[in-house]
Chain A
Amino acid sequence: MSSTQSSSTDQDALLQAAIDRSLRYPVMFFLTSGAAWLALALLLGVIASAKVHNPEFLGNWACLTYGRVFPAHINALVYGWGMQAAFAVILWLMARHSGRKCPDAVMILTAGHVWNLGVALGSAGILAGNGTGMPWMEFPSYIWPVLLGSYCVIVMGSFNQFRIHPQGRVAIPQWYIFAALIWFPWIFSTANLLLHCLPGHPVMAAGINAWYKSALVFLVFTPVALGAAYDLAAQVTGRPVSSDALAKLGFWSLAVIAPWAGMQKLAGAPVPYFLPYVGAAAAALLFIPICAAAINTVRMMWPCRKTFIAHPTLQFITAGITSLMVIAVTSVVLYLPDSTLPLTQFSWSGYGFDILALYGFFSLVMFGATYFIVPRVAGRAWLSNKLVQVHFLFSVYGMITICWVALFGGFQQGMSQENWQLPWIGVSAVTNPYAVAITFAWCLMLFSNVFFCLHLILMWRSPDRLRAHHAPGEPAPAIPDHTAEHIY
């Protein structure tokens, strides 16, 4: 390395450090409160799941009946953890790629608190019995403008940062993040306006709801996680994306295909006949964008597979990408309207698919991103490598259990449901062991994520890098004064 290169690299490094430091409070806030919501969501998930096989469990509490706990669980998972983890990653990635510091930490933090307040009020509303009954939109109808407003404030700065390309081109993670930034308000306001403000035919409302669920997964969570996976795989391994063409194919096919998916959930319902088929075909076609992104990211990480076990970010991202491939294959296999769809339409397979996407793919990639980002923005190392490994193992094994059981136990359930001579209670009896297994897996994941949350909270202590990481015996290096001249 020549000295000029070296000094420009040092400049880059200092700039990156300054950017990271400017993001400390917003990113840490979203990740920590997100992790707290995740732990709460998993606790509610354990309760909801236990009620499937043991209905008397906590049966005397009106607010803990299945019909309230289950939506509270999913909504806390989606809006409490999922969106907040996405905010943290969006803020960090956009700032890093634009080479600009955090636009306005105070405003973002204020809006972040409003978002948390909205999620808290919404979850309390669900538990109090005021849920709307629309999957993933169960928050009482006055919550969504609060969420949409605070969303706009939170991401406004990142949205503006997209215009800045210090490297002269738009990086792949930026494509995905910017697209997700636009798509979320589009689908969120469309679904909420159509369902809360302009209610039409109730059957079509169910269709819009199914479309919203699918779009939230494939147009918001998937691009955010893919952006993070592309970026972190490149950063950790130091290797470029192998195929620009494949990345473009993956991005644009996602943009074109994903908005069509979702209505397959309504096969057989009295909606216009072609809609569920278009949804099922789009769900199958989602294999293409998913597979393209998976191939590209795995190719980046593949040469580093030997040291792979030592790096939690790579571990989590690989596990997430693996889940994503399972999603791709299952979305081809599970949604064939005349053969498999009747078996999965009203069984656990749908739930398994949701959890696979929300936790198996999105959350695992977000964990990988968290383990990479937090030491940089918080300025201190993770406290315990063991906790990280436990988090990984419990998450992955819990995930495998839930998905295996829900996707394939769901098949068994679907076949029992199709047997009209078997009364409904008999279907429950057939699938009881699967329900117990799901509860067990949620317990594993709850355990690991409580520690994840505590670990994150401990990372709020003041930066320790100067104290801990200069060589013993050497004087502590002076802290460079980062003023505007380090930020171009």
Chain B
Amino acid sequence: MSSPNKMPFFKDAYHMSGAQRRVGAAAPASAVDGRVDSNGTAPVSLGVLTVFGVVVLIAGGILGGAGRFFDYRTMFRAGYERIPAPGEGDAQPPPKAALASYMARGAKIYAAKCIVCHGPEAKGDGINFPALAGSTWATGETQRFAMIILNGLQGPISNGKSYGAGMPSQAAGLTPEDVAGVMTYVRNNFGNNTGDIVTVAMAKAALEISAARAKAGQQVTAAELTADHRKALPGPPLDPTALVNPITLTPVRTSAPASAAPKP
């Protein structure tokens, strides 16, 4: 048996040669295994306890953020508010694809203004209110569609039929973003599928054109629409997959490499 404080030489312990002859051939390797019968009684030193104390303090700090313990119904911190992402573009919401952002804005406007008459599926009722689904005036030239929304409409429509007393102007309270959103929404929903976006810039142009009409303030008629407004609204088109701020609908500049954004 090696004495407690002597390190057995490597070759003995490891290759089992020297110790073997001492205790007999059958137990060579085991012979050098130290048998330590009692543990030391050294106290836990003050330094170690201090370090442990610091760790306990850190852990306590972490626990302090935990809210009420064993409260299995609360999933969020009390008074939780989303922290805006740091860096450039502070306090901006995360950008989203343009089409989705415009559609989301348009859905709200549609639900507030259009749904009462044209219905949740934009099918109208066939007597007083025409369908927007499949309407060529909705999916066709954007300026004609904008004039109807902003000024209302009287007389026969695209299918030659007249509906009730006509449509009143919807311009009150609509911002260019709202107009752009609701036009994009109607043109890409209810089975309509133009795939393009009526941008905020186009909607601003539509408001100007509407204000500059000869019969400003009156409902438009099919004749006027065909004569003056059968064209697209001016303005650069917007890639439906480009990232925009979902609130302002303005394009977001990213530090993305050009290849990152998928092109249609």
Contact = CB atoms under 8 A, between A and B. Distances in A.
A13 B14 CA distance: 16
B254 A273 contact: no
Interface string A282-293: 101101100110
A281 B26 contact: no
Given A381-B16, A423-B260, A239 B34 contact: yes
A270 B75 CA distance: 5
A466 interface: yes
Interface string A233-254: 0111111111111110100000
A238 B5 contact: yes
B30 A16 contact: yes
Contacts of B48: 246, 291-292, 295
A469 interface: yes
B242 to A, nearest CB: 13
A426 B256 contact: yes
Nearest to A5: B1
A273 B71 contact: yes
Given A167-B37, A284-B55, A421-B87, A238 B7 contact: yes
A426 B254 CA distance: 12
B88 interface: yes
Given A234-B34, A245-B43, A479-B25, A274 B14 contact: no
A280 B60 CA distance: 10
B35 A284 contact: no
A240 B42 CA distance: 11
Contact of A482 (B26, B40, B58, B94): B26
Interface residues of B, number: 72
B27 A17 contact: yes
Among B35, B71, B87: residue with most chain A CB under 10 A: B35
A463 B73 CA distance: 64
A465 B28 contact: yes
B74 interface: yes
A421 B5 CA distance: 62
Given A273-B74, A477-B24, A240 B17 contact: no
A274 B67 contact: yes
A484 interface: no
Interface residues of chain B: helix, strand, loop or mixed (majority):
loop
B149 interface: no
B20 interface: yes
B41 A311 contact: no
Contacts of A17: 26-30
B66 A247 contact: no
B31 interface: yes
Contact of B6 (A172, A238, A277, A479): A238
B21 A470 contact: yes
Interface in A360-397: 371, 375-376, 379, 381-382
B66 A273 contact: yes
Interface residues of chain A: helix, strand, loop or mixed (majority):
helix
Contact of B14 (A12, A280, A375): A375
A61 interface: no
B30 A376 contact: yes
Given A241-B39, A273-B77, A288-B52, A465 B66 contact: no
Interface stretch (A76-84, A139-147, A302-310): A302-310
Contacts of A242: 40, 42
Contacts of A9: 1, 23, 35
Given A272-B71, A295-B48, A238 B4 contact: yes
Contact of A375 (B16, B94, B257): B16
B89 interface: yes
A485 interface: no
B71 A239 contact: no
Contact of A281 (B7, B30, B41, B60): B60
B29 A375 contact: yes
A98 to B, nearest CB: 14
B159 interface: no
Interface string A13-53: 11011001000000000000000000000000000000000
Contacts of A104: none
A488 interface: no
Interface stretch (A121-129, A179-187, A330-338, A450-458): A330-338
A107 interface: no
A202 interface: no
Contact of A307 (B7, B36, B60, B63): B7
Given A17-B26, A376-B29, A421-B88, A337 B42 contact: no
B15 interface: yes
A103 B191 CA distance: 76
B27 A16 contact: yes
A197 interface: no
Contacts of A272: 71-75
A12 B23 CA distance: 10
A465 B63 CA distance: 58
A240 B40 contact: yes
A239 B5 contact: yes
A143 to B, nearest CB: 32
Given A167-B37, A274-B66, A426-B257, 15 more contacts: A13-B24, A14-B26, A235-B33, A235-B34, A238-B5, A239-B34, A241-B39, A243-B43, A243-B44, A273-B76, A288-B55, A311-B14, A337-B62, A375-B15, A423-B254
16 contacts: A9-B1, A10-B27, A167-B37, A238-B5, A243-B43, A273-B74, A277-B62, A277-B66, A278-B66, A281-B63, A371-B14, A375-B15, A375-B16, A375-B29, A422-B255, A465-B20
Interface of B: 1-10, 13-17, 20-21, 23-31, 33-44, 48, 51-52, 55-56, 58-60, 62-63, 65-77, 85, 87-89, 94, 254-257, 260-261
The 8 closest A-B pairs by CB, nearest first: A238-B34, A277-B66, A310-B10, A17-B27, A16-B30, A244-B39, A477-B25, A243-B42
Interface of A: 1, 5-6, 9-10, 12-14, 16-17, 20, 167, 172, 234-247, 249, 270-274, 277-278, 280-282, 284-285, 287-288, 291-292, 295, 303-304, 307, 310-312, 332, 335-338, 371, 375-376, 379, 381-382, 418-423, 425-426, 429, 465-466, 469-471, 476-480, 482
